[in-house]
Structure 1
Amino acid sequence: MHRNASSPPLRSLGNVALVLLLTVLCCMGLKPATAHAAAGTFRNPLGTSPDPSMTYYQGNYYLAATEGDAVRIAVAPTLGDMLTAPRVTVWQDTDASRNQQVWAPSFYLIDGHWYIYYTADNGVDDNHRLYVVESEGTDPLGPYHFKAELQAPNAPDEWAIDPVLLRQSDNSLYLLWSGAGTEGHNLIYIAPMSNPWTVSGNRVYLPTDGGCSTIREAPSILQHNGTTYLVYSTCDTGLPDYQLWMKSLPSGADPLQPGNWTQHAGAVFSRNDATGVWGPGSNGFFKSPDGTQDWIVYHGKNTSSYTYDGRTTRAQKISWKADGTPDFGSPLAAGATQDLPSGDPGGGSYWINDTNTSSGSGSVAYTGDWNSGSGCGVQCFWSDDHWSAESGATATWTFTGTKIALLSVRDTGNGIAAFSVDGGAETTRDYYGAIRMGEQLNYVSPELPYGTHTLRVRVTGTKDASSGAAFVSIDRAEVYSN
């Protein structure tokens, strides 16, 4: 069913007080005062896929993540628009031996070409291998052509996933990945490269600590003041305790010597039950548009249940400690408002909550029988939502902008909703989910002329055969104007 038998704890007492105040105002027939959106803010998620990699290049952000059948890149001039940005298919292989289970693309500009590194197989996980494609020029969207399979001479046909590059200040190149060998499975390896598509020497195993006894994967590289940080994920990505650990390499040290790497104790980024983020990991790093800030992009889930589903792309700024090491902080709630990266030209999106409050020019009104409450806890924006299974009940959003996106709960008792923009023809979406999760992207409107619009959500009373009921959840809307 849509509602949990036991309600999770509320996000904060301040949120409870605000909800009570708004309820009193509504009962008095007063409309709550509308807050004004802070210029240059955004909220997660940025995408609906795991294993993200992101960069900022010549006026745009480029985001790639695991899509399964191809490599796709989303492009947006501001981070605030990334969730609804178009995804462009930049590479889809026709070779059946390597065009399935395409995972974890990462991309780099080297000598006038973009190189995308990824793992793929023929539909059998044991056959995952590493590949690289090369762009024809400097456009991150390609076109691309197949360049090479990547194999170390001492491991010519071994299982391998999650390839990334390490580029040193002397322009030397190294490939890192998670692979299998005599040391075990899902472990971190490194090998030298003579160019972006050729592994030129034997692979070396890098011993790593972790929060679980098994799985070291998704290596990523962060460099600061001459020090190289190897950040990697540990534990099964389906677990809520999937987390990031770290090793570091001092300036000038040989990365092929395992003893040159220092292991840092403990997880550097892990689950945050208080904000409803579980399994944060499989990350990348990117610079703000003006180059002054470092950001982490990663995937996380809105449920503590074991599942690979619902891993969404998120980003947040990192800082630096007095000793020069990175401070990743804790994962922020998906709906937490953050300032855009420094130099980002966007004005930001604004939110409308299901309680008819908004950080901009927006509202929501209901007809029919709707339930509301705070039992949703950290799985919902501001810990509350509305839900109804009454056929014909509606929630109508009024907003000023060019596009609207709806995020809310999917659950085992949810059904099908119908959507109509400005009184137009309806489209439908299924709110069913095999595992209850909040902050899920359920609808994105078409691009609209800037102005005031309406989006009506109608409960159809119908459902998928797998669902136990036909509830539709109303929680957060994001409105865009760029």
Structure 2
Amino acid sequence: MKMEGHYNNPIVLQRADPWVYKHTDGYYYFTGSVPGYQEIEVRRAKSLNELADAERHNVWQAHETGPLSRLIWAPEIHFIRGKWYIYFAASDNEKIRDEHHHHRMFVIENSSPNPFEGEWVEKGQIKTQQESFSLDGTVFTHRNELYYVWAQLGPAIPGNSNLYLSKMENPWTLTGKELLLSIPEYDWEKVGFKVNEGPAAIQRNGKVFITYSASATDENYCMGLLWADENSDLLDGYSWQKNPVPVFETSEENKLFGPGHNSFTVSEDGSQDLIIYHARPEKNHSGDPLDNPNRHAHVQAFTWDEQGFPVFGIPGE
């Protein structure tokens, strides 16, 4: 059995917001934010250690102008209802910190069984009920219904981004109620910026868990946890609870700073749950941390406690 200690961390260099999806064909499909923020790259391998030098394809390139031309952030690859989808955020403005917050969420689709073949078709913007800065969309299926979780600036809510939840009519269209799921309320969610972003869902032990990232993307970046009973109405705000402290944060001892924007997968033999996350090998000393490409993708096994909650431990543990 491949234990966590056998993973060659970091598994991929300079890929922030790492997303790993293990498909039925036995491949791990990996994507993440590419420095320069102008393309979407997908790579695949039969083991996580092989992703560093794996077969890779540039599946989509930013437009020359317009809303899909700048700052291509945090792509996620999913296989939904027999087709491949990649969700990502894009802007029409080079300024990372822009007062108009141009980022919006988009999705592309490929109907080929092999996502390295066929054509990736632009399905357009994921439109929400309030037209504002939005990013980091992810999807999960619960009781045969598709849900979408994302980060968005609430015009009437102080801060930079909150988390929202909605059902989907199809993989590119939201439908019905949009629930305000979480806002930055604790001190550890508001260092540098008031941020809840980068959600990822995992369902275990009768619960739906959503991890997310908080604060600025430097060494203060960390992960929080939301959960609801699997039998509850997920679009009822009272169904959800929030951990008052971070569940994964900087380890100075292990030189892993600002861990976050994670995804979940399982080990090669399926015996272990794994968290995939990015972290920096040092603190961000100057400039905007989003301009620093030293966020690398790491993998770590985690366990579950007696109450059925995930125990992520310490980065690099």
Q: Same fold (TM over 0.5)?
A: yes
1:166 paired to 2:140: yes
Counterparts of 2:232 and 2:65 in 1: how far apart (Å)?
A: 41
Counterparts of 2:304 and 2:247 in 1: how far apart (Å)?
A: 13
Classify the secondary structure of the residue corresponding to 1:223.
strand
Q: Between the two proteins, what is the percent identity of the paired residues?
A: 27
| Structure 2 alignment gaps of length 5 or more | none
1:42 paired to 2:7: yes
Counterparts of 1:278 and 1:93 in 2: how far apart (Å)?
A: 30
CA-based RMSD: 1.9
Counterparts of 1:175 and 1:282 in 2: how far apart (Å)?
A: 16
Counterparts of 1:252 and 1:305 in 2: how far apart (Å)?
A: 43
| Structure 1 alignment gaps of length 5 or more | 1-37, 334-482
Residue 221 of structure 2 corresponds to which residue in structure 1?
A: 242
Equivalent residue pairs, number: 291
Residue 110 of structure 1 corresponds to which residue in structure 2?
A: 80
Residue 405 of structure 1 corresponds to which residue in structure 2?
A: none
Residue 203 of structure 1 corresponds to which residue in structure 2?
A: 178
After superposition, where does 1:135-174 map in structure 2 within 5 Å? 135-142=110-117, 143-152=119-128, 154-155=129-130, 157-168=131-142, 170-174=143-147
Report if the CA contact (8 A) 1:178-1:186 is conserved.
yes
Per-residue deviation at 1:202? 4.1
After superposition, where does 1:19-34 map in structure 2 within 5 Å? none
Counterparts of 1:141 and 1:127 in 2: how far apart (Å)?
A: 30
Counterparts of 1:78 and 1:144 in 2: how far apart (Å)?
A: 25
Residue 382 of structure 1 corresponds to which residue in structure 2?
A: none
Counterparts of 2:237 and 2:17 in 1: how far apart (Å)?
A: 26
Determine which of 146, 149, 153 is the counterpart of 1:180: 153
Counterparts of 1:70 and 1:196 in 2: how far apart (Å)?
A: 21
Report if the CA contact (8 A) 1:55-1:287 is conserved.
no
After superposition, where does 1:29-428 map in structure 2 within 5 Å? 41-47=6-12, 48-57=14-23, 58-67=25-34, 68-94=37-63, 96-97=65-66, 98-124=68-94, 125=96, 126-142=101-117, 143-152=119-128, 154-155=129-130, 157-168=131-142, 170-181=143-154, 182-184=156-158, 185-208=160-183, 209-210=185-186, 211-213=188-190, 214-238=194-218, 240-306=219-285, 307-308=289-290, 309=292, 310-332=294-316
Per-residue deviation at 1:95? 6.3
Classify the secondary structure of the residue corresponding to 1:127.
coil
Counterparts of 1:104 and 1:140 in 2: how far apart (Å)?
A: 18
Letter in 1 for 2:207: T
| Deviations 1:424-460 (CA, angstroms, capped at 9, x unpaired) | xxxxxxxxxxxxxxxxxxxxxxxxxxxxxxxxxxxxx
Report if the CA contact (8 A) 2:76-2:88 is conserved.
yes
Letter in 2 for 1:227: K
Classify the secondary structure of the residue corresponding to 2:216.
coil
Report if the CA contact (8 A) 1:207-1:258 is conserved.
no
Report if the CA contact (8 A) 2:47-2:268 is conserved.
no
Label 1:262 to 1:121 Cα distance change in 2 as closer, same or farther (>3 A).
same
Residue 12 of structure 1 corresponds to which residue in structure 2?
A: none
Report if the CA contact (8 A) 2:177-2:235 is conserved.
no
Counterparts of 2:182 and 2:40 in 1: how far apart (Å)?
A: 30
Counterparts of 1:76 and 1:88 in 2: how far apart (Å)?
A: 12
Counterparts of 1:188 and 1:144 in 2: how far apart (Å)?
A: 28
| Deviations 1:134-182 (CA, angstroms, capped at 9, x unpaired) | 1122223343111121112x21x211010101310x2111211111111
Per-residue deviation at 1:207? 2.6
Letter in 2 for 1:84: D
Normalised by the length of structure 2, the TM-score is 0.87
Per-residue deviation at 1:123? 2.4
Per-residue deviation at 1:87? 2.8
Counterparts of 1:265 and 1:195 in 2: how far apart (Å)?
A: 34
Counterparts of 1:62 and 1:172 in 2: how far apart (Å)?
A: 23
Counterparts of 1:141 and 1:189 in 2: how far apart (Å)?
A: 31
Letter in 1 for 2:205: N
Classify the secondary structure of the residue corresponding to 2:161.
strand
| Deviations 1:1-41 (CA, angstroms, capped at 9, x unpaired) | xxxxxxxxxxxxxxxxxxxxxxxxxxxxxxxxxxxxx9x92
Counterparts of 1:292 and 1:87 in 2: how far apart (Å)?
A: 27
Report if the CA contact (8 A) 1:136-1:145 is conserved.
no
Counterparts of 2:120 and 2:109 in 1: how far apart (Å)?
A: 5
Counterparts of 2:208 and 2:65 in 1: how far apart (Å)?
A: 37
Report if the CA contact (8 A) 1:70-1:99 is conserved.
no
Counterparts of 2:111 and 2:274 in 1: how far apart (Å)?
A: 29
Classify the secondary structure of the residue corresponding to 1:270.
coil
